Structure 1
Amino acid sequence: MSLDFDVIRRPTLLVVDDTPDNLMLMSNLLKDRYVVKVANNGEKALKIVRTGEPPDLILLDIMMPGLSGHEVAQQLVADSKTRDIPVIFLTALASEEDEMIGLGLGAADYITKPIRPAILLARVETHLNIKAAADFLRSQNDFLEQEVARRTREVAAIQDVTILAMASLAETRDNETGNHIRRTQHFVKVLAEHLRNHPRFAKVLDDHTIGLLFKSAPLHDIGKVGIPDRILLKPGKLTPEEFEVMKTHTTLGRDAIEHAELQLGADVAFLRLAKEIAYSHQEKWDGSGYPEGLSGDRIPVSARLMAVADVYDALTSRRVYKPAMPHEQALGIIRDGRGSHFDPDVADAFLACTEQFREIAQRFVDTDHDIARKADVQAVAAGLP
């Protein structure tokens, strides 16, 4: 029975010199320890390096016709695929200035001719060991970066699923359908992207924040979970007393998210925005909203965006108790609310993006099945047969 052993890979060295005798000398010196490739000019050396498996180390003469060793080294360093290959200049240029120039070009070492075989072999082995260690660290870093990216994607996916699950829980007890969540998400994103370069919003609405707004927007009505069914599902107009209870959904939502944040023991950016939206999206620009009667810029930007998105969707969506309002009529209501209900600039952003709003509404339109399912849920919640 015979055993097969993996053959240990010998490092590959590329020797570049325009003198045949020097190439022969170096090949004979190195061939017992390494795989040796040779090139008699800079152009050929670069071709060898760039095709097939690159060498582990390059021994490079400087004074050659055509491309000089300096020019070859510059091209190697400029290419991300070859810049990590150690280069040892092997040259007759022996001045301190020449050595400084060579090392300044990124060479790992500088050996002057005539060579001393023992010194050359020792330096080659040293730089190969250094390269092997650096390659190992790079591979570990690449692995760690991939692992961090994988786990980051997992965390983001868990966040998204959790948000949608919580939002869907609130939706099952409300007159809204699940598509309301999707529509308002996209409405908020459209407004934020339109305002990102506006002088009043540029410092707030960067790519990262817009992504967090999209992620947190579904939680705007999470507090409705705490509103009694007799009020939440009432098909007619609420009494003043009932409306006061309904208004508490903003505080209930903020408190529920804040409790979750405290349990995590960390400040999470998207939860901060979710709290702002849940608590303040019913505030009005003129201070007549709730729960605090905030006005103007005291209302968080996230809540001002959601105010427009939520009102437009409420107006243009079909419910079990009302038909959908035509787009143009809803547009007029928001235009009329500019400066009273809505931040004037946010209202203007909406008016500039109405076709995008219309397209989103059509893409996530409530079907007859959605409406029927919501009616069934309400009937069950009300205890009807």
Structure 2
Amino acid sequence: MKHVLIAGDDTSIHSAAMQAFQGRYHVTSLPVDMELTLDLIQDQIDMVLYTVTDVSSDCSKVYQVIEEQSRRKRIPFIFLVRESSSELEHEALRRGVGDIIPMHTTTELLIHRVNACLELYSLRNDRSYVEKYLDAVSISFAELVECRDMMTGGHLKNTTHYFKLLLEEALQGDYYKEVIQMEDRNDLLRSAALHDIGKIGITDDILRKATSLNDNEYEYMKQHTTLGKLAFEKIIRETGGARWLYLAKDIAYCHHERWDGSGYPNGLKGNEIPIYARIMAIADVYDAITSRRSYKDAYSHQEAKAIILEGKGSLFDPDLVDIFEAAQERFEEVLSKKQDSDTIEGDFLCHIQHYTESFDPTISMM
């Protein structure tokens, strides 16, 4: 039996909810004068039903609890309100509330919506076989790109880490909470890891060139964004398209677009560029600058920071650059850990390259 915690500021709604849930759920009622805290939401709690008298109710502490518990196993918060308003609904949904149900709702409809919310969150928290399968496929394709493009060893792992860091920081502010969908966050890392999937279609003489590309080679290399888009479009056509595939397509296609329109493949400007591609643009450039290549040494964090700040409002979303600057110590910490492991990873990549170059295909046919 599901365990529901009822909290909030309206005694009569408490009583009505307790009566409606009788025999259907195990219910714990929190006294009205007792503040809801993260400590009260133990692992055995499956849902919090929070009663709200009106829009003037101070829900800021509840929102803080929602944000804190979302970092571990997420459980649904449902607001049961005496009187609703567009203002309350907009703010509550933006801050992660699972549903808002008017008190005058019939018992049957209340139970139906509570059950639907519980089922939805259960599915989101449960890494089903399908989810594990999708993650395995995503990782395999990302590693396939990594094996082909050994000149940039570790790039996909690094950029995914920087992408996650910048995304987390962006979600701390108010503006991007309006733009970034809460339900997208779990899909984004799977999508971000595949931003260079189109490089599979680039020939080895360009992909593994040990010196800088000339103009013609650079124009050819640019095609990896379009190739990535086409790959995801084909998968979407064949499967009907999960949300994460659309996210992955946008990131793969647009992560080289620039804020002032100077990027490729379409010269998109400003907010025309999908938000997740704008985040990836900074993560991608930061890793490229701070990584050693056969034709250049690795730049320091301070040098990379200066280059990204210089690109504020021209190459990069200015608001995201401000977020990057505020979080730059976290970037430096990740970079430091990466540099400590570079020698080991370099030796590993060289071993794989030697193996693939010396592989005799006739052996597998015997």
Bucket of the pairwise TM-score, normalised by the shorter protein: 0.5 to 0.7
The CA deviation string for residues 269-327 of structure 1, in whole angstroms up to 9 with x for no partner, is 11111001101101111111111111111111111000000000111123444332111
**C-alpha distance in structure 1 between counterparts of 2:123 and 2:175, whole Å:** 36
Q: Is it true that 1:309 corresponds to 2:289 in the alignment? A: no
Q: How does 1:44-193 map to 2 (within 5 A)?
A: 77=18, 152-175=127-150, 179-193=154-168
**C-alpha distance in structure 2 between counterparts of 1:79 and 1:320, whole Å:** 68
Partner SS state of residue 172, structure 1: helix
- 1:340 aligns to what? 314
Deviation at 1:84, TM superposition (A): 7.0
- 1:251 aligns to what? 226
The CA deviation string for residues 195-238 of structure 1, in whole angstroms up to 9 with x for no partner, is 22545422221332222222210000011111111011001111
Question: Are the equivalent residues in 2 in contact too, given 1:307–1:342 (CA < 8 A)?
Answer: yes
Deviation at 1:146, TM superposition (A): 11
Deviation at 1:153, TM superposition (A): 2.2
Structure 2: which 5+ residue stretches go unaligned?
Answer: 1-14, 27-115, 361-366
Whichever residue aligns with residue 291 of structure 2, its letter is S
Q: Is it true that 1:225 corresponds to 2:182 in the alignment? A: no
**C-alpha distance in structure 2 between counterparts of 1:272 and 1:256, whole Å:** 11
Deviation at 1:79, TM superposition (A): 11
**C-alpha distance in structure 2 between counterparts of 1:77 and 1:342, whole Å:** 52
Q: Is it true that 1:370 corresponds to 2:345 in the alignment? A: yes
Partner SS state of residue 202, structure 1: helix
Normalising by structure 2, report the TM-score.
Answer: 0.61
- 2:65 aligns to what? none
Whichever residue aligns with residue 228 of structure 2, its letter is G
**C-alpha distance in structure 1 between counterparts of 2:123 and 2:329, whole Å:** 40
Change (3 A) 1:229 1:244: same
- 1:204 aligns to what? 179
Structure 1 window deviating more from structure 2 (361-370 vs 311-320): it is 361-370
The CA deviation string for residues 4-52 of structure 1, in whole angstroms up to 9 with x for no partner, is xxxxxxxxxxxxxxxxxxxxxxxxxxxxxxxxxxxxxxxxxxxxxxxxx
Deviation at 1:154, TM superposition (A): 1.7
- Backbone CA RMSD of aligned residues: 3.4
**C-alpha distance in structure 2 between counterparts of 1:181 and 1:305, whole Å:** 14
**C-alpha distance in structure 2 between counterparts of 1:306 and 1:181, whole Å:** 11
Change (3 A) 1:321 1:203: same
- 2:81 aligns to what? none
Whichever residue aligns with residue 238 of structure 1, its letter is L
- Give percent identity, aligned residues only: 39
Question: Are the equivalent residues in 1 in contact too, given 2:212–2:295 (CA < 8 A)?
Answer: no
Change (3 A) 1:195 1:149: closer
- Match among 209, 229, 241 for residue 267 of structure 1: 241
- 1:290 aligns to what? 264
Structure 1 window deviating more from structure 2 (196-205 vs 244-253): it is 196-205
**C-alpha distance in structure 1 between counterparts of 2:225 and 2:142, whole Å:** 14
Partner SS state of residue 203, structure 1: helix
- 2:75 aligns to what? none
**C-alpha distance in structure 2 between counterparts of 1:145 and 1:335, whole Å:** 41
Change (3 A) 1:80 1:370: same
Q: Is it true that 1:358 corresponds to 2:332 in the alignment? A: yes
Structure 1: which 5+ residue stretches go unaligned?
Answer: 1-73, 86-140
Partner SS state of residue 285, structure 1: coil
Equivalent residues, number: 256
- 1:112 aligns to what? none
Change (3 A) 1:258 1:321: same
Change (3 A) 1:280 1:167: same
Question: Are the equivalent residues in 1 in contact too, given 2:138–2:194 (CA < 8 A)?
Answer: yes
Structure 1 window deviating more from structure 2 (354-363 vs 294-303): it is 354-363
Answer with 1 or 2: which has the greater Rg: 1
Partner SS state of residue 289, structure 1: coil
Whichever residue aligns with residue 198 of structure 2, its letter is G
- Match among 235, 238, 241 for residue 213 of structure 2: 238
**C-alpha distance in structure 2 between counterparts of 1:145 and 1:197, whole Å:** 25
Structure 1 window deviating more from structure 2 (343-352 vs 152-161): it is 152-161
